[in-house]
Structure 1
């Protein structure tokens, strides 16, 4: 994992030694960003909480483990950019994951970079897998799926309270054969 910080050297040493990567309790089991960028205005506790929520949520998208979504998302979670018909709250994200995993059972998600600043976390996600299931009326023929998404999380009390997201749906729809 590549780290970029805006911290003074002493604070950066704390990040490298105890707040990022495998050093944070069970975070070693959570998806790690390839590049983590943090600002110098956060307390250690806020940085740890924001990173944990974002990494749990990314790991949910990588594995489909719904417990991680429930742990990462606030009960009153708001999707600020939902597709038409998506339910709000944690169940909306969980149902979306289930539906997409029906189409792409081997779906994987990498975090190319994660930026943590204030109460926001920006995650640049890279999704990939094989379309072997069904997506609406489309049946997969083994097409490779490879697209990116960017999420902006608002984190409050260690949980993602809101999410603004944009996916490269044009690429995805072409790969699914919908276009």
Structure 2
């Protein structure tokens, strides 16, 4: 596949599955042998658990949205830089085991996805979880020197 086609698959994956919460698109866009290298305990490990993950994240952050900033592709890999915005409205079992704070987050993320057979087959991510925890009030933010 071309790098343009691979970028289109990744764009559709985030727009349809995450932003539109269309879990049925997972069957079309995620490879049956999907591997997720995200170390978060609640991260999806296969297409079926991804459907549950979308449900779980939507309960915790009903307005979550990945704004894609950049898509860069080479070979079968696509790198996406994005910003996740959301409001903490519910529990996130296995990750944020706390009552909803009602606070908003703005988290920078970089994802690397490998495309195989026109589907997302592998995923790595780097996120700014520290800033997210500070925004939710779980970790104090450092005081700014004046």
- Which TM-score band (shorter chain)? 0.7 to 0.9
Aligned residue runs from structure 1 range 104-143, under 5 A: 104-136=61-93, 137-143=97-103
- Superposition RMSD in Å: 1.8
Q: Distance in 1 between matches of 2:91 and 2:121?
A: 31
Moved over 6 A (4+): none
Task: Pick one of 28, 52, 58 that aligns with 2:14.
Answer: 58
Normalising by structure 1, we get a TM-score of 0.68
- The size of the alignment, in residue pairs, is 135
2:3 maps to 47
Normalising by structure 2, we get a TM-score of 0.81
C-alpha displacement of 1:85: 5.3
Does residue 58 of structure 2 align to residue 101 of structure 1? yes
C-alpha displacement of 1:87: 4.6
2:144 maps to none
2:36 maps to 79
Q: Which runs of 5+ in 2 are unaligned?
A: 140-146
Does residue 48 of structure 2 align to residue 91 of structure 1? yes
- Residue 56 of structure 1: SS of its match in structure 2? helix
2:106 maps to 146
C-alpha displacement of 1:48: 4.2
1:173 maps to 133
Q: Indicate if the aligned counterparts of 1:109 and 1:127 stay in contact, CA closer than 8 A.
A: yes
2:119 maps to 159
Q: Which runs of 5+ in 1 are unaligned?
A: 1-44
C-alpha displacement of 1:123: 0.6
- Residue 141 of structure 1: SS of its match in structure 2? coil
